Amino acid sequence: MTSTTAPVRTKSKVFTGKLALGILGVLLLLALSLFTGVYDIFGKDDGAQMFTITRIPRTIALVLAGAAMAMSGLVMQLLTQNRFVEPTTTGTTEWAGLGLLTMLVLFPSASLLAKMGVSIIFAFIGTMVFFLFLQRVSLKASLTVPIVGIMLGSVIGAFSTFFALSTDKLQSLGIWMAGSFTSVIRGQYEVLWIVALVAVAIYIVADRFTVAGLGEEIATNVGLNYRRVMLLGTALIAIATGVVTVVIGNLPFLGLIVPNIVSLIRGDDLRSNLPWVCLLGVAITTVCDLIGRTIIMPFEVPVSLILGVLGAIVFIFLLLRQRKVG
Protein backbone atom coordinates (compact mmCIF):
# COMPACT_ATOMS: atom_id res chain seq x y z
CA MET A 1 0.00 0.00 0.00
CA THR A 2 1.09 3.54 -0.59
CA SER A 3 1.34 6.29 1.97
CA THR A 4 0.14 9.77 1.16
CA THR A 5 1.13 13.02 2.81
CA ALA A 6 1.22 12.90 6.59
CA PRO A 7 -2.27 13.51 7.94
CA VAL A 8 -2.95 16.32 10.35
CA ARG A 9 -4.48 14.78 13.48
CA THR A 10 -6.83 17.11 15.28
CA LYS A 11 -9.38 16.48 18.00
CA SER A 12 -12.55 18.47 18.13
CA LYS A 13 -16.07 18.19 19.47
CA VAL A 14 -18.50 16.14 17.43
CA PHE A 15 -21.56 18.36 17.82
CA THR A 16 -20.92 22.06 17.26
CA GLY A 17 -22.84 25.10 16.12
CA LYS A 18 -21.44 24.70 12.61
CA LEU A 19 -22.70 21.11 12.50
CA ALA A 20 -26.16 22.34 13.55
CA LEU A 21 -26.11 24.84 10.67
CA GLY A 22 -24.99 22.04 8.34
CA ILE A 23 -27.90 19.85 9.47
CA LEU A 24 -30.29 22.78 8.90
CA GLY A 25 -28.92 23.32 5.40
CA VAL A 26 -29.31 19.64 4.49
CA LEU A 27 -32.87 19.63 5.87
CA LEU A 28 -33.71 22.58 3.60
CA LEU A 29 -32.29 20.69 0.61
CA LEU A 30 -34.34 17.61 1.51
CA ALA A 31 -37.48 19.77 1.81
CA LEU A 32 -36.74 21.16 -1.65
CA SER A 33 -36.36 17.59 -2.93
CA LEU A 34 -39.74 16.63 -1.48
CA PHE A 35 -41.53 19.38 -3.40
CA THR A 36 -39.62 19.12 -6.70
CA GLY A 37 -41.08 17.07 -9.52
CA VAL A 38 -43.31 17.07 -12.57
CA TYR A 39 -46.38 15.64 -10.86
CA ASP A 40 -48.58 18.32 -9.29
CA ILE A 41 -49.02 17.01 -5.74
CA PHE A 42 -51.08 20.07 -4.73
CA GLY A 43 -53.42 20.29 -7.73
CA LYS A 44 -54.20 16.59 -8.34
CA ASP A 45 -56.73 14.61 -6.33
CA ASP A 46 -54.22 11.85 -5.63
CA GLY A 47 -51.36 14.29 -4.94
CA ALA A 48 -51.03 13.33 -1.27
CA GLN A 49 -50.95 9.65 -2.21
CA MET A 50 -48.25 10.21 -4.83
CA PHE A 51 -46.30 12.24 -2.28
CA THR A 52 -46.11 9.28 0.09
CA ILE A 53 -45.53 6.71 -2.67
CA THR A 54 -42.72 8.48 -4.58
CA ARG A 55 -41.43 11.73 -3.05
CA ILE A 56 -40.84 10.59 0.54
CA PRO A 57 -39.18 7.25 -0.45
CA ARG A 58 -36.98 9.06 -2.98
CA THR A 59 -35.82 11.61 -0.40
CA ILE A 60 -35.10 8.89 2.20
CA ALA A 61 -33.14 6.98 -0.46
CA LEU A 62 -31.09 10.11 -1.19
CA VAL A 63 -30.16 10.34 2.49
CA LEU A 64 -29.26 6.67 2.96
CA ALA A 65 -27.40 6.15 -0.32
CA GLY A 66 -25.48 9.44 -0.10
CA ALA A 67 -24.36 8.86 3.48
CA ALA A 68 -23.48 5.19 2.87
CA MET A 69 -21.30 5.73 -0.19
CA ALA A 70 -19.53 8.73 1.37
CA MET A 71 -18.71 6.78 4.54
CA SER A 72 -17.61 3.75 2.51
CA GLY A 73 -15.14 5.96 0.66
CA LEU A 74 -13.81 7.36 3.93
CA VAL A 75 -13.24 3.90 5.42
CA MET A 76 -11.60 2.62 2.23
CA GLN A 77 -9.24 5.60 2.12
CA LEU A 78 -8.24 4.97 5.73
CA LEU A 79 -7.61 1.26 5.26
CA THR A 80 -5.54 1.77 2.09
CA GLN A 81 -3.82 4.94 3.34
CA ASN A 82 -4.67 6.56 0.04
CA ARG A 83 -6.98 9.51 -0.61
CA PHE A 84 -7.78 8.56 -4.21
CA VAL A 85 -9.64 5.30 -3.62
CA GLU A 86 -13.34 4.61 -3.12
CA PRO A 87 -15.71 1.81 -4.22
CA THR A 88 -15.94 3.06 -7.83
CA THR A 89 -12.16 3.48 -8.26
CA THR A 90 -11.27 0.08 -6.79
CA GLY A 91 -13.66 -2.12 -8.76
CA THR A 92 -15.97 -2.81 -5.79
CA THR A 93 -18.99 -1.34 -7.58
CA GLU A 94 -18.25 -3.33 -10.75
CA TRP A 95 -18.02 -6.54 -8.72
CA ALA A 96 -21.37 -5.76 -7.07
CA GLY A 97 -22.87 -5.15 -10.52
CA LEU A 98 -21.49 -8.48 -11.74
CA GLY A 99 -23.16 -10.19 -8.78
CA LEU A 100 -26.47 -8.54 -9.62
CA LEU A 101 -26.11 -9.51 -13.30
CA THR A 102 -25.34 -13.11 -12.34
CA MET A 103 -28.56 -13.30 -10.35
CA LEU A 104 -30.56 -11.71 -13.19
CA VAL A 105 -29.26 -14.40 -15.55
CA LEU A 106 -29.25 -17.50 -13.34
CA PHE A 107 -32.15 -16.72 -10.99
CA PRO A 108 -34.31 -14.02 -12.64
CA SER A 109 -37.22 -14.61 -10.25
CA ALA A 110 -35.07 -14.34 -7.11
CA SER A 111 -36.15 -11.90 -4.40
CA LEU A 112 -34.57 -8.49 -3.95
CA LEU A 113 -32.85 -9.67 -0.76
CA ALA A 114 -31.30 -12.65 -2.58
CA LYS A 115 -29.98 -10.41 -5.36
CA MET A 116 -28.65 -7.99 -2.77
CA GLY A 117 -26.94 -10.80 -0.83
CA VAL A 118 -25.10 -12.07 -3.92
CA SER A 119 -24.07 -8.51 -4.86
CA ILE A 120 -22.64 -8.03 -1.36
CA ILE A 121 -20.67 -11.30 -1.64
CA PHE A 122 -19.26 -10.28 -5.03
CA ALA A 123 -18.41 -6.80 -3.70
CA PHE A 124 -16.61 -8.36 -0.71
CA ILE A 125 -14.60 -10.68 -2.96
CA GLY A 126 -13.69 -7.81 -5.29
CA THR A 127 -12.56 -5.57 -2.44
CA MET A 128 -10.45 -8.37 -0.96
CA VAL A 129 -8.84 -8.97 -4.37
CA PHE A 130 -7.92 -5.27 -4.51
CA PHE A 131 -6.49 -5.26 -0.97
CA LEU A 132 -4.52 -8.48 -1.55
CA PHE A 133 -3.12 -7.05 -4.77
CA LEU A 134 -1.92 -3.94 -2.94
CA GLN A 135 -0.26 -6.06 -0.23
CA ARG A 136 1.69 -8.12 -2.77
CA VAL A 137 2.74 -5.32 -5.12
CA SER A 138 4.98 -2.45 -4.08
CA LEU A 139 3.36 0.78 -5.28
CA LYS A 140 5.46 3.84 -4.61
CA ALA A 141 3.21 6.50 -6.14
CA SER A 142 -0.14 7.23 -4.51
CA LEU A 143 -1.73 7.85 -7.90
CA THR A 144 -0.84 4.33 -9.01
CA VAL A 145 -3.23 2.79 -6.48
CA PRO A 146 -6.50 4.20 -7.94
CA ILE A 147 -5.20 3.54 -11.47
CA VAL A 148 -4.73 -0.13 -10.53
CA GLY A 149 -8.24 -0.15 -9.01
CA ILE A 150 -9.76 1.46 -12.11
CA MET A 151 -7.98 -1.11 -14.30
CA LEU A 152 -9.31 -4.00 -12.20
CA GLY A 153 -12.78 -2.46 -12.34
CA SER A 154 -12.51 -2.05 -16.11
CA VAL A 155 -11.67 -5.74 -16.50
CA ILE A 156 -14.71 -6.73 -14.44
CA GLY A 157 -16.84 -4.18 -16.32
CA ALA A 158 -15.72 -5.59 -19.67
CA PHE A 159 -16.50 -9.13 -18.51
CA SER A 160 -19.94 -7.98 -17.30
CA THR A 161 -20.65 -6.37 -20.69
CA PHE A 162 -19.66 -9.57 -22.51
CA PHE A 163 -21.73 -11.63 -20.08
CA ALA A 164 -24.73 -9.31 -20.58
CA LEU A 165 -24.37 -9.42 -24.37
CA SER A 166 -24.22 -13.22 -24.34
CA THR A 167 -27.35 -13.50 -22.22
CA ASP A 168 -29.37 -10.63 -23.73
CA LYS A 169 -29.16 -8.58 -20.51
CA LEU A 170 -27.32 -5.59 -21.91
CA GLN A 171 -30.31 -3.31 -21.36
CA SER A 172 -30.48 -4.30 -17.68
CA LEU A 173 -26.76 -3.60 -17.34
CA GLY A 174 -27.23 -0.20 -18.97
CA ILE A 175 -30.00 0.69 -16.52
CA TRP A 176 -27.74 -0.26 -13.63
CA MET A 177 -24.84 1.81 -15.03
CA ALA A 178 -27.13 4.85 -15.16
CA GLY A 179 -27.57 5.10 -11.39
CA SER A 180 -30.82 6.95 -10.78
CA PHE A 181 -33.43 7.53 -8.08
CA THR A 182 -36.23 7.61 -10.65
CA SER A 183 -37.48 4.10 -9.87
CA VAL A 184 -37.42 4.53 -6.09
CA ILE A 185 -40.96 4.09 -4.79
CA ARG A 186 -42.59 2.81 -1.64
CA GLY A 187 -42.08 -0.94 -1.26
CA GLN A 188 -38.80 -1.06 -3.21
CA TYR A 189 -36.40 1.08 -1.22
CA GLU A 190 -36.82 -0.16 2.35
CA VAL A 191 -33.78 -2.47 2.17
CA LEU A 192 -31.66 0.69 2.03
CA TRP A 193 -32.20 1.01 5.80
CA ILE A 194 -29.54 -1.70 6.10
CA VAL A 195 -26.90 0.89 5.23
CA ALA A 196 -28.04 2.94 8.24
CA LEU A 197 -26.85 0.02 10.41
CA VAL A 198 -23.55 0.08 8.49
CA ALA A 199 -23.18 3.79 9.30
CA VAL A 200 -23.77 3.11 12.99
CA ALA A 201 -21.22 0.26 12.95
CA ILE A 202 -18.61 2.50 11.28
CA TYR A 203 -19.14 5.17 13.94
CA ILE A 204 -18.75 2.62 16.76
CA VAL A 205 -15.43 1.23 15.45
CA ALA A 206 -14.16 4.55 14.05
CA ASP A 207 -11.18 4.64 16.41
CA ARG A 208 -10.04 1.15 15.34
CA PHE A 209 -10.20 2.16 11.68
CA THR A 210 -8.11 5.21 12.53
CA VAL A 211 -5.43 3.05 14.18
CA ALA A 212 -5.52 0.52 11.32
CA GLY A 213 -4.99 3.45 8.94
CA LEU A 214 -1.59 4.06 10.55
CA GLY A 215 -0.33 0.77 9.11
CA GLU A 216 -0.14 -2.90 10.14
CA GLU A 217 3.05 -2.55 12.19
CA ILE A 218 1.83 0.35 14.35
CA ALA A 219 -1.65 -1.14 14.72
CA THR A 220 -0.23 -4.49 15.85
CA ASN A 221 2.17 -2.82 18.29
CA VAL A 222 -0.71 -1.07 20.08
CA GLY A 223 -2.60 -4.37 20.43
CA LEU A 224 -5.05 -4.07 17.54
CA ASN A 225 -6.00 -7.17 15.56
CA TYR A 226 -5.14 -5.58 12.22
CA ARG A 227 -6.46 -8.34 9.96
CA ARG A 228 -9.77 -8.56 11.82
CA VAL A 229 -10.30 -4.81 11.52
CA MET A 230 -9.44 -4.97 7.80
CA LEU A 231 -11.98 -7.75 7.29
CA LEU A 232 -14.61 -5.81 9.22
CA GLY A 233 -13.97 -2.67 7.16
CA THR A 234 -14.11 -4.65 3.92
CA ALA A 235 -17.38 -6.29 4.95
CA LEU A 236 -18.99 -2.94 5.83
CA ILE A 237 -17.87 -1.41 2.52
CA ALA A 238 -19.19 -4.45 0.62
CA ILE A 239 -22.58 -4.33 2.38
CA ALA A 240 -23.05 -0.61 1.72
CA THR A 241 -21.92 -0.89 -1.91
CA GLY A 242 -23.96 -4.03 -2.61
CA VAL A 243 -27.18 -2.62 -1.17
CA VAL A 244 -26.86 0.76 -2.94
CA THR A 245 -25.93 -0.94 -6.23
CA VAL A 246 -29.01 -3.15 -6.23
CA VAL A 247 -31.48 -0.40 -5.26
CA ILE A 248 -30.01 2.72 -6.93
CA GLY A 249 -27.16 1.68 -9.22
CA ASN A 250 -23.75 3.21 -9.78
CA LEU A 251 -22.96 6.47 -7.89
CA PRO A 252 -19.47 7.36 -9.18
CA PHE A 253 -16.89 9.37 -7.24
CA LEU A 254 -19.17 10.19 -4.29
CA GLY A 255 -16.91 8.30 -1.86
CA LEU A 256 -13.89 10.09 -3.31
CA ILE A 257 -14.91 13.72 -3.28
CA VAL A 258 -16.79 13.89 0.05
CA PRO A 259 -14.03 12.61 2.43
CA ASN A 260 -11.41 14.72 0.65
CA ILE A 261 -13.44 17.94 0.90
CA VAL A 262 -14.15 17.30 4.60
CA SER A 263 -10.50 16.44 5.24
CA LEU A 264 -9.27 19.60 3.49
CA ILE A 265 -11.51 21.75 5.69
CA ARG A 266 -11.43 19.92 9.04
CA GLY A 267 -8.33 17.73 9.15
CA ASP A 268 -8.33 13.95 9.72
CA ASP A 269 -10.09 13.26 13.03
CA LEU A 270 -12.29 10.39 11.83
CA ARG A 271 -14.87 10.37 14.60
CA SER A 272 -15.63 14.12 14.49
CA ASN A 273 -15.56 14.07 10.67
CA LEU A 274 -18.09 11.26 10.27
CA PRO A 275 -21.20 13.46 10.78
CA TRP A 276 -19.80 15.95 8.29
CA VAL A 277 -19.06 13.19 5.78
CA CYS A 278 -22.65 11.96 6.11
CA LEU A 279 -24.08 15.47 5.75
CA LEU A 280 -21.93 16.39 2.76
CA GLY A 281 -22.64 13.02 1.10
CA VAL A 282 -26.38 13.61 1.48
CA ALA A 283 -26.08 17.25 0.35
CA ILE A 284 -24.08 16.48 -2.82
CA THR A 285 -26.35 13.56 -3.75
CA THR A 286 -29.46 15.69 -3.24
CA VAL A 287 -28.10 18.66 -5.21
CA CYS A 288 -27.04 16.40 -8.11
CA ASP A 289 -30.45 14.71 -8.06
CA LEU A 290 -32.22 18.09 -8.07
CA ILE A 291 -30.12 19.22 -11.05
CA GLY A 292 -30.90 15.98 -12.87
CA ARG A 293 -34.64 16.41 -12.20
CA THR A 294 -34.87 20.02 -13.36
CA ILE A 295 -32.25 20.55 -16.08
CA ILE A 296 -34.40 19.04 -18.88
CA MET A 297 -37.80 18.99 -17.19
CA PRO A 298 -40.17 17.12 -17.63
CA PHE A 299 -37.49 14.46 -18.31
CA GLU A 300 -34.68 13.45 -15.93
CA VAL A 301 -30.93 13.08 -16.24
CA PRO A 302 -29.50 10.16 -14.19
CA VAL A 303 -27.79 11.35 -11.02
CA SER A 304 -24.72 9.27 -11.95
CA LEU A 305 -24.15 11.58 -14.93
CA ILE A 306 -24.09 14.72 -12.76
CA LEU A 307 -21.94 12.98 -10.13
CA GLY A 308 -19.52 11.79 -12.82
CA VAL A 309 -18.92 15.33 -14.09
CA LEU A 310 -18.59 16.79 -10.59
CA GLY A 311 -16.36 13.92 -9.43
CA ALA A 312 -14.07 14.26 -12.43
CA ILE A 313 -13.56 17.98 -11.72
CA VAL A 314 -12.77 17.34 -8.05
CA PHE A 315 -10.53 14.40 -8.96
CA ILE A 316 -8.45 16.61 -11.30
CA PHE A 317 -8.24 19.28 -8.58
CA LEU A 318 -6.95 16.70 -6.09
CA LEU A 319 -4.40 15.43 -8.60
CA LEU A 320 -3.09 18.95 -9.22
CA ARG A 321 -3.02 19.64 -5.49
CA GLN A 322 -1.16 16.40 -4.82
CA ARG A 323 1.40 17.33 -7.46
CA LYS A 324 1.84 20.81 -5.95
CA VAL A 325 2.25 19.44 -2.41
CA GLY A 326 4.61 16.78 -3.72
Q: Are 281 and 71 in contact (CB under 8 A)?
A: yes
Q: What is the pLDDT of residues 227-267, one digit of tens each?
A: 888 888 888 888 888 888 878 888 888 888 888 888 888 77
Q: Are 135 and 1 in contact (CB under 8 A)?
A: yes
pLDDT category of residue 282 using cuts at 50, 70 and 90: very high
User: Residue 27: pLDDT above 90?
Assistant: yes
User: Residue 152: pLDDT above 60?
Assistant: yes
Peptide bond into 87 cis (omega under 30): no
**CA–CA gap between residue 160 and residue 166 (Å, rounded):** 10
Of the listed ranges 60-69, 280-289, 298-307, the one predicted with least confidence:
298-307
pLDDT category of residue 14 using cuts at 50, 70 and 90: low
Amino acid at 107: F
CA-nearest of 228, 252, 238, 216 to 1 is 216
Domain positions in the chain: 85-323
**CA–CA gap between residue 201 and residue 195 (Å, rounded):** 10
Domain 85-323 architecture: Orthogonal Bundle (1.10)
In this predicted structure, what is the pLDDT of residue 286? 92
User: Residue 12: pLDDT above 80?
Assistant: no
**CA–CA gap between residue 67 and residue 240 (Å, rounded):** 10
User: Residue 77: pLDDT above 80?
Assistant: yes
**CA–CA gap between residue 325 and residue 5 (Å, rounded):** 8
Residue 286 neighbours by CB distance under 10 Å? 23
Residue 322 burial by Cβ neighbours in a 10 Å radius (0-12, 13-18, 19+):
middle
In this predicted structure, what is the pLDDT of residue 309? 86
pLDDT category of residue 322 using cuts at 50, 70 and 90: low
pLDDT category of residue 6 using cuts at 50, 70 and 90: very low
Of the listed ranges 40-44, 53-57, 164-168, 228-232, the one predicted with least confidence:
40-44
The values of phi and psi at residue 222, to 5°, are -90, 10
6 DSSP 8-state letter = P
